[in-house]
Structure 1
Amino acid sequence: MSSKIAKKYTIIIALCCMCAVVSCTKTVKYFKHTFFRMDTFVEVTIPLSDIKKQNAPDTAMVITYIDSILTEWEERFSANRVNSEVKKINQRLRDTVAISKDLSDMISVAKAYGDSLRGGFDLTILPLKVLWHLSEDSDDTSAYPQPDQLQIDSVLANVDYRKVSLSQSGDSLYFINRDIKIDVGGVAKGFILVRIANYLADNGFANYLVNGGGDIIGNGVRADGKAWVIGIQHPRKSDSLLTAFSLERRSVFTSGDYERFRIINGQRVHHLFNPHTGYSATTNQSVSIYGNDPLQNKFLSTGLFSTPADSIVAYIKKRPELSCMVVDSSGKVYKWGMK
């Protein structure tokens, strides 16, 4: 068994950020700033021509605002922060708890995708992460054996998003029992990336990229007037790309088994669990969803991860607003609508 938990955050490489920040005359063309919040890197890229527009906020204001909302959401919605709303809910003494509007919105959408994906996305997955020691900050996992089937079955009894209910008003949450725990870390990340993008758009920035650990939301064009170019990383070759394409839709989100994992008895155990089996999904190495709705892309890339690649493609084909690229467990690449 490996003594390390591997954490890899770069799923998609924004090629424009790598190659076009400095022109051939070495004139800086972009404002860029990187934050580390919510256990991932968040990078904002804006052409300087947008920054210099009349009435646009200066870069200090942009940095201050984005850092403040990232810090706030990290404190509120992490499952591990001492004073987070999520941690307090998971330590509840009653089955019904009051919740904030932001958390209510996230849970409402998460439950809806749980229904539409037949439980493929499940916000009560936290006990499995704890059981497999993939929620720990420590890299020392040498003392953690693989759970046995009885342990897995015991935890699975409390992994079911249908056992969590929102009140009609949305201001409280009901749990069937106290052993059910929620984890909205990935959901909160998707919501906050949308909030950052909306802040930029509302403040007059027509051209930007927001990159949250490789999940991309973009708008407009690069400094040279051409489309942003995005590359999707190979899940087993960190220095290689599967493809590169112009970002003509708003966003692309990727889930991969290489983001956070450890090796047990020669097997890769990662954070993308199959909620029905209690084990890490073994069907695919990565799933990328490309479309105009960032939250839809987020939920589908995670919620379809346990689904066979050809079935994912069939699902996407029925939705003309979406494209996908999937690498299955053997390394075979499937894609639809992506060049």
Structure 2
Amino acid sequence: MHLQNNLKVQITLLVVLFSMLCSAQQPYKRTLKLMGSRFDITVVANDEAQGNASIAVAIAEITRIEKLISSWDPNSETSSINRNAGIKPVRVDTELFNLIERAIKISKLTDGAFDISYASMDRIWKFDGSMDVMPSEVEIMTSVAKVGFNNIVLDKNESTVFLKLEGMKIGFGGIGKGYAADKAKALLIAQGVPSGIINASGDMNTWGKQPNGSEWKVAITNPMNKNKVFALLPITDGAVVTSGNYEKFVNFNGKRYTHIIDPRSGYPSSGIISVTVFAPTAELADALATSVFVMGKEAGLDRINQLPKIECIIIDDRGVITKSKNIEIDKI
């Protein structure tokens, strides 16, 4: 009888252990195209059904954001703002108004290196191999004549946005994917998803830890050899964005001009080939990564070092790695 009781206890323990193993949380991942870009959505869940349901919530939220900010959709509020440039203010949803207001704050913070009115720029630079002559100085100056965040007029009481110049446009190419990743992450956390990663074409947004208790790690690509990684950095409940321009560029008079263009001057950035920014939100990291390219290594690094909870890694066109003051890199 005593032996039978012991056997029952052992069997019960084995059943409980097996049940715990079967219900152990695992990461579930889906890759798809959203906002015209690749999104990798990973969530930690108890089972596949729960994981798929959480991923579906993220997809729905990102799709909602795309409809809100898209300048390609003629029915979006953003398109309405652009159509009425120089004509009249447009009343918009509070969410879009607040996003534009934050974008203008980043423009002020970066002295205009980041500017959502970049969409007004004439596309005179081509990075598809078709350019054989550099644009003239007059063409370059003309191309940015309607760019300028100071010409975006906000009325908070009326929740309206007005672009002063006829033909002026705004676009969220430098901030939209990061914002969508932030919103999807916030929604999943609110629904009790304990951990995950939303990778919006290099805009990485994480929360929680891996099922084994270790931190999520972000690989920093070596821009001199994109098939190699030069560092792995842990990240918990934050965002990291890497912008690279080592694939899209042109050479004129011995100088390399890349596809990230200074919205103030109309000239492409030069001297930097990769910028990685760590920030509390992907929206901010996204905007600052572009800004550092435009500002240049010294000015960009100086600005980052003045901002709390923001860090960056810069790789210049000679392969020299420079980092902000509070970051440590363990090379691999």
Q: TM-score, normalised by structure 1?
A: 0.79
Which SS does the other structure have where 1:311 is aligned?
helix
Taking the TM superposition and a 5 Å limit, the aligned residue runs for 1:133-172 are 142=130, 146-169=134-157, 171-172=159-160
* d(CA) in 2 for partners of 1:154, 1:283: 24
Residue 65 (structure 2) aligned to one of 61, 68, 73: 73
* d(CA) in 1 for partners of 2:43, 2:274: 28
Point out the more displaced range, 58-67 or 261-270.
261-270
Deviation at 1:196, TM superposition (A): 0.9
List per-residue Cα deviations over 1:197-236 (Å, max 9, x = no partner).
1111111112111111111111121122111111111223
Give the counterpart letter for 2:240 in structure 1.
Answer: V
* d(CA) in 2 for partners of 1:149, 1:89: 30
Residue 108 (structure 1) aligned to one of 78, 97, 101: 101
Residue 62 (structure 2) pairs with residue 62 (structure 1): no
Point out the more displaced range, 245-254 or 103-112.
245-254
Residue 92 (structure 2) pairs with residue 99 (structure 1): yes
Point out the more displaced range, 217-226 or 291-300.
291-300
Deviation at 1:320, TM superposition (A): 4.8
Q: 1:254·1:287 contact (CA, 8 Å) conserved in 2?
A: yes
Give the counterpart letter for 1:51 in structure 2.
Answer: N
Q: 1:249·1:290 contact (CA, 8 Å) conserved in 2?
A: no
Question: Compared with structure 1, are the counterparts of its residues 72 and 268 closer, same or farther at alpha carbon in structure 2 (3 Å cutoff)?
Answer: farther
Taking the TM superposition and a 5 Å limit, the aligned residue runs for 1:1-339 are 29-47=26-44, 50-52=45-47, 58-92=50-84, 94-128=87-121, 130-132=123-125, 142=130, 146-169=134-157, 171-248=159-236, 250-258=238-246, 261=248, 263=250, 270-336=258-324, 337-339=327-329
* d(CA) in 2 for partners of 1:335, 1:129: 34
Gaps of 5+ in 1: 1-26
* Structure in which a larger fraction of residues adopt helix: 2
Which SS does the other structure have where 1:223 is aligned?
coil
List per-residue Cα deviations over 1:108-167 (Å, max 9, x = no partner).
001011111111111111133633357xxxx7x748965332222112221111011111
Q: 1:216·1:253 contact (CA, 8 Å) conserved in 2?
A: yes
Q: 1:232·1:243 contact (CA, 8 Å) conserved in 2?
A: yes
List per-residue Cα deviations over 1:16-61 (Å, max 9, x = no partner).
xxxxxxxxxxx994210112111211111123xx334xxx982343
How many residues are treated as equivalent by the alignment? 302
List per-residue Cα deviations over 1:161-186 (Å, max 9, x = no partner).
10111113262112221121111133
Point out the more displaced range, 156-165 or 79-88.
79-88
**Aligned residues: CA RMSD:** 2.8
**Map of 1:16 onto structure 2:** none
**Map of 1:15 onto structure 2:** none
Give the counterpart letter for 2:79 in structure 1.
Answer: K
- Percent of aligned pairs sharing the same letter: 22
Question: Compared with structure 1, are the counterparts of its residues 245 and 88 closer, same or farther at alpha carbon in structure 2 (3 Å cutoff)?
Answer: same
Q: 2:43·2:55 contact (CA, 8 Å) conserved in 1?
A: no
* d(CA) in 2 for partners of 1:166, 1:86: 14
Q: 2:176·2:283 contact (CA, 8 Å) conserved in 1?
A: no
Deviation at 1:334, TM superposition (A): 0.4
Question: Compared with structure 1, are the counterparts of its residues 86 and 267 closer, same or farther at alpha carbon in structure 2 (3 Å cutoff)?
Answer: farther
Give the counterpart letter for 1:318 in structure 2.
Answer: Q
Question: Compared with structure 1, are the counterparts of its residues 92 and 314 closer, same or farther at alpha carbon in structure 2 (3 Å cutoff)?
Answer: closer
